[in-house]
Structure 1
Amino acid sequence: MKKLLLLLLTIPMLVIGRELKTPLEKNNFSRPTTYAELSEYLKDLVAQNPKLALEVIGQTAENRNVYALKFSSSQFGKDPKKLKVLIFAQQHGNEQSGKEGALLLAAELLKPENQYLFEHIDLALVPQVNPDGAEQNKRRNGHNADLNRNHLILEEPEAIALHTFFDKYLFDVNMDVHEYAPYFSEAWKKYGYRCNSDELIGVNTNPNIPAEIRDFSNKVFVPFYHNYLTKKQYSSSIYAPGGPPEQDYIRHSTFDINDGRQSFGIQNSFSLIQEGLNGFDTFKDSLEHRAKGQETGMLALLEFAARNHTQIKGMVASQRLNLIKGQPETVAIQMEHVKNGKQHPLPVYSYSTGKDSIIMVKDYRPVVKPITSISKPEGYLIPKSSKLLLDWAKRHNFSTSTYKPSSKLKIEQYEVAAIDSMDFEGDIIVNPRVKAVTINSAIKASDYIYIPTAQLKGNMIVIALEPKSELGLVTYTGYSQLLKANEKFPVLRVVKK
């Protein structure tokens, strides 16, 4: 008996005191957790677990706190051998199950049998990015902005807080947790089916993210994820929006870097999105099953990260070093979804039979192919007269400096001949005709700030500032003024001679 007691005392444990039920468990899974309940619960968890830390990473549009729980067996973020993992949920306020799953996950991770995970990972868990929207069960935040379309322009306080937090620790792995709603599409209703997986998983799809990371995600992580959920009796599939089949193509989710997954992925992180099945009314329809499904998917990621921590750590570190060195030399700025000859087995529910089924999708486009790429410049010159761009660069915390002219460098400026349009995933966006012209006369360096591309966010900078980029700043209403026909583009390129 004494030996058993001694053994128990030597096991590293986070749990002290009584086990706390989540607010959702307390109300018997009858309604979502309120912001006040969430705040109280997180504080209670930390009060009972001295190795668990709670950080307020920012405030919302309506001055609510955005919280991050930090799990570590040592000092968070300080062990260079450990993977740093970030999971964040409920960017969309009417997607409640991600938050509930995150709170269930927090309690699960405090159990003694799960402490082995923290030998290899440090985890930051942000259960609710958008409490303002959640309180009203609406998608957008208190400024009526879609947070998951804000990660490039980075104007909303919640998105800024998340990126500032990411920059602080430079997480190696991250997962953005959402819900998908198959019930409300009239096209799918007429087709007679709807998508029907408990969880959908999406990986990095932007081709500027190294193939090593994308291949590892698709070939190693995704099979592990599906097997893990199957063993736990949850169904899963690839996040593949579009359709209905044969009426419209089905693709993997967007390659745009304005969402949570791709905005961190473009910094060469191992980055994922999880989409849980939404309920009919969000509040009462299978909330327990949905929340536990989300929790299970998050656990799958943590288990995978712990098992593969050395390989993931090395892969992310080496690919980030390439960015800091200014590699790769070219960046894709216009892309399209294309076929690879494979069909996709899409799990569906039949409205006519009331049974689950599989549809083999023929027009399946899982590959993102670059159609326009450019040579990466050494950097960009932003005119100090443009407060819009200066503020944007500051929010992103880019490395900047004063430009120093060199005989090895030249400066180019785009001349905009005309502004055409193109289709991007069903939206019509600008597609300017431009020509890069060398500036022969000297510029006044003090009139500009210099943003070098040899930095972690280098590919993001190129994608944002190139006027022909279909993912760039000029495609946003507030920044469209930068692009005018028959005028010069205000951002200058610094390139090697």
Structure 2
Amino acid sequence: MTMTTLRTWAVIGLMTASLPVTALAQSGARTPYRQTPAVLAQLTDVPIPLDAPGLGADRTEFTSQAEMEAHLRGLKARVPGLYLGSLGQTSGGRDLPWLVFTAEGVQDLAAVRRLNRPIVWLMGQQHGNEPSGGEAMLALASALADGELAPLLDRITVVIVPRMNPDGAEAFTRRTGLDYDLNRDHLLATLPESRGVQAAMVLLPPDVVVDAHEYGASSPLQRFGRLNAADQTILDATHPGVPAGVTRLARTTFLPAMEARLHGSGLSSSVYLSGMPATGPLVTGGTSPGISRNYYGLTGAVSFLLESRNGGGREAYQRRVASHYLAAAGLLEAAAADGPRLRRTVATARRAMARSRAPLAVAYEPPVLPAVLPLMDSETGAPSAEAIELRDSRQLRVTETRRRPRGYLLAPEAGTAIAALEIKGIHVCAAAPQTAATEAFHVTRTEPITRQTREASTLTEALQVRLEARNVAVGADWIWVPMNQAGASVIAASLEPDSVGSHIHVGLVPVAEDGIAPVYRVVQRTPRTTGPC
């Protein structure tokens, strides 16, 4: 029996995949363009102290893994109360260090959580060829250890993962040692880097998350004949499952604080753009839940992407690092200024997600709005601006919804999804053998699953999903995932097949020959479990 009409959903973050898009974030290929001396003369160093190994005088190379680890050990020697640990190792055998900063020098992570202060996570260099974010994390670590930012630790706890992708940094490539884009794996949690971070976040749940990247200065050359001008581009979480109260706080408190810090040092800022189409509207960052900015927003945290302006190589490197440092410092100051309000907002959002009975948004689109793109002359560096139309994911319009289930029954074939949910701290239960009334997903693909499917953010892939009423025989090895928990938005994004980058969408959870996925929605009676749930 068909419970909803057949729907064909273009699986994209924004409805832009038909456009010839050039990504603004740095790709694995090195751009042949180099900025002129006149342009570089406009990109002077920022007169602030930054303690990081890659900023030494006469440096020609970026910070190595060994230099990063030595810098962190030096901080630990200077400030013994700094927590320095490991999130595990990459596929290439490199360590993933992380730091926890508290005023008291607490070393027990459970005790850190009991401080009841806002917990801010700062992460750098998810893409190995975008080094300034990682360098800024090392400078921020120095400033928090015994520098200008240390006084903030009376009011906030700060966690830093300076280099999320050590294998990519070593090879100076975007992708990890397993040849995947780490910034598409936060929902799937299949890579050692994302799994390490998410396991640690169960111990220290974030109230705020910052993810530092770089974008390409030369992207507008072909269309506008000029360069991007903004020193720093910023975007909060843009997915309809992000709590509205968290979004308001991000945009009314944290974004102004970051911009004020940047502008006070003479740096410019703008909204992050994920693509530069040859014609038509430009596009803000996508809505895919596997992107860290969106994923951590779905957990109820205030979540931001920062992207500094990269013209190539080490050009204007100190300025790039400084832009990340200043934006993050402004955010930390804002978190410290009103920590109780931040904590209340995040806690309220998580309770509301656990109690929500609202439908799930399964189709949505951004409006096209007028905007201004800051540019600079590619020869002289003279500033200019271009009036544009912007497909703005910050103001999504939901066009279709689906009834929210009580939870999901997962057959053993959905093991990868179960493992990912457990790593995230999602509560799952063993289902008792029974016959359960469910809604089954009938999935039809019109294109094969490819590597690009795994990393979808603006990928068009026709996927047909139909809900069918079905009584299923639940075995002893089935799992029940209830939706009455704070991770409800993450659960739905992970298990609904037409959620971009979900376990079914990318093929990690296989669909049977009859088109039925081993994930079943329960909308009426909660199934029996073998213990309390």
TM-score after normalising by structure 1: 0.86
Judged with a 3 Å threshold, the aligned counterparts in structure 2 of structure 1 residues 436 and 298 are, in CA distance, closer, same or farther, namely same
Q: 1:343 aligns with which of 354, 370, 394?
A: 370
Q: 1:361 aligned to 353, 374, 388, which one?
A: 388
User: SS of the counterpart of 1:194?
Assistant: strand
Find the aligned partners of 1:400 and 1:215 in 2 and give their Cα distance. 31
Relative to structure 1, the CA distance from residue 73 to residue 154 in structure 2 (aligned partners, 3 Å threshold; closer, same or farther) is: same
Equivalent position of 1:473 in the other structure? 503
Aligned counterpart in structure 1 of residue 170 of structure 2, from 135, 146, 151: 135
Q: Which residue of 1 aligns with 2:228?
A: 195
Q: CA distance change for structure 1 residues 20 and 426 in 2, over 3 Å: closer, same or farther?
A: closer
Residue 293 (structure 1) aligned to one of 308, 314, 323:
323
Q: CA deviation at 1:254?
A: 1.3
Residue 382 (structure 1) aligned with residue 419 (structure 2): no
Cα drift, residue 198 of structure 1: 0.9
Structure 2 CA distance for partners of 1:259 and 1:469, relative to 1, 3 Å: closer
Matched with 1:303 is 333
8 Å Cα contact 2:414-2:519 kept in structure 1: no
User: How far apart, in 2, do the equivalents of 1:41 and 1:414 lie?
Assistant: 51
Q: Is the 8 A contact 1:242 1:249 kept in 2?
A: no
SS at the partner of 1:56? Answer: strand
Q: Which one of the candidate residues 303, 306, 312 is aligned to 1:274?
A: 306
Deviations 1:92-137 (A, max 9, x none): 0000111111111122223454332111100011110111111121
Cα deviation per residue 1:243-282 (whole Å; 9 max; x = unaligned)? 358x13223211111111211110111111100111312x
Match of 1:460 in 2: 490
Instruction: Tell me whether 1:157 sits opposite 2:192 in the alignment.
Output: yes
> Does the residue aligned with 2:149 lie in a helix, a strand or coil?
helix
Change in Cα spacing, 1:390 to 1:244, as seen in structure 2 (3 Å) is closer
**C-alpha separation in 2, matches of 1:115 and 1:385:** 49
Return the offset for 1:188.
3.6
Unaligned runs of 5+ in 1: 1-18
Q: Which residue in 1 is equivalent to 2:463?
A: 431
- Please give the alpha-carbon distance, in whole angstroms, between the structure 2 residues aligned to 1:376 and 1:296: 41
1:29 Cα shift?
4.2
Q: Deviations over 1:370-422 (max 9, x none)?
A: 22221221111111244444444444443111225899x83222334x4458x
Partner of 2:280: 248
How far does the alpha carbon of each residue in 1:213-257 deviate from its partner, in whole angstroms, 9 at most, with x for none?
112222332222212210012111111333358x13223211111
User: Aligned partners of 1:322 and 1:363: how far apart in 2?
Assistant: 32
Residues 260 and 330 of structure 2 are in contact (CA less than 8 Å); yes or no, is this contact kept in structure 1?
A: no
Rounded to whole Å, the distance in 1 between the matches of 2:251 and 2:433 is 44
The reply to whether residue 226 of structure 1 matches residue 259 of structure 2 is yes
Letter in 1 for 2:478: Y
Aligned 8 A contact 2:257 2:331 in 1 = no
Aligned residues: 464
> Greater relative contact order: 1 or 2 (C-alpha under 8 angstroms, separation 6 or more)?
2
Question: Aligned match of 1:400 in 422, 428, 441?
Answer: 428
* Equivalent position SS for 1:310: helix
Distance in 2 separating the partners of 1:243 and 1:25 = 31
The yes-or-no answer on 1:206 pairing with 2:221 is no
Answer whether contact 1:415 1:488 (CA < 8 A) is retained. yes
Between the aligned partners of 1:320 and 1:359, the Cα distance in structure 2 is: 40
CA distance in 2, matches of 1:412, 1:85: 39
Helix, strand or coil at the partner of 1:276: strand
Residues 276 and 290, structure 1, Cα contact 8 Å, conserved in 2: yes
In structure 2, the residue matched to 1:13 is: none
Give the Å deviation of 1:472: 2.5
Partner of 2:442: 415
Q: Alpha carbons of 1:250 and 1:50: their partners in 2 closer, same or farther (altered >3 Å)?
A: same
Q: Does 1:259 align with 2:291?
A: yes
- After superposition, residues 85-96 of structure 1 pair within 5 angstroms as 85-96=120-131
The answer on 1:173 being equivalent to 2:208 is: yes
Quote the residue 2:155 is aligned against: 120
- Counterpart-to-counterpart distance in 2, 1:354 and 1:153: 42
Q: Does 1:313 align with 2:313?
A: no
Report the 3-state secondary structure (helix = DSSP H, G, I; strand = E; otherwise coil) of the residue aligned with 1:68: strand
Distance 1:358 1:244, change over 3 A: farther
Work out the CA distance in 1 between the residues paired with 2:56 and 2:93. 27
- Please give the secondary structure, in 2, of the residue aligned with 1:275: strand
The structural deviation recorded for 1:428 is 1.1
Aligned to 2:362: 333
Q: Aligned residue for 2:33? A: none
User: Cα offset for 1:354?
Assistant: 3.5
Cα contact 1:201–1:236 (8 A) shared by 2: yes
CA RMSD of aligned residues (A): 2.6
Determine the C-alpha separation between the residues in 2 that align with 1:363 and 1:122: 37
What is the alpha-carbon distance in structure 1 between the residues aligned to residue 258 and residue 511 of structure 2?
Answer: 43
SS at structure 2 position matched to 1:209: coil
Instruction: State the distance in 1 between where 2:129 and 2:176 align.
Output: 10
Cα 1:21/1:300, change in 2 over 3 Å: closer
Query: Aligned partners of 2:347 and 2:155: how far apart in 1?
Result: 16
Rounded Cα–Cα distance in structure 2 between residues aligned with 1:292 and 1:463: 35
Q: Counterpart in 2 of 1:105?
A: 140
CA contact (8 A) 2:367 2:392 kept: yes
2:353 corresponds to which residue?
Answer: 323
- Supply the distance in 2 between the matched residues of 1:223 and 1:450 (Cα, whole angstroms): 42
Kindly tell me: are residues 20 and 252 of structure 1, through their superposed partners in 2, closer, same or farther at Cα, counting changes over 3 Å?
closer
| Offset of residue 357 of structure 1 | 1.2
Q: Which residue of 2 aligns with 1:36?
A: 66
Judged with a 3 Å threshold, the aligned counterparts in structure 2 of structure 1 residues 196 and 113 are, in CA distance, closer, same or farther, namely closer
Query: 2-side partners of 1:212 and 1:21: how far apart?
Result: 36
Q: Determine the C-alpha separation between the residues in 2 that align with 1:237 and 1:306.
A: 24
Report the residue type matching 2:76 in the other structure: V
Q: Where does structure 2 lack aligned partners over 5 or more consecutive residues?
A: 1-48, 448-452, 526-533
For 2:54 and 2:147, how far apart are their aligned partners in 1?
22
CA gap 1:25/1:89 in 2 versus in 1, 3 angstroms: same
Contact 1:30–1:287, Cα closer than 8 Å, also in 2: no
Cα distance in 2 for partners of 1:249, 1:288 equals 32
Alpha-carbon distance in 2 for matches of 1:208, 1:92: 26
Structure 2 match to 1:48: 78
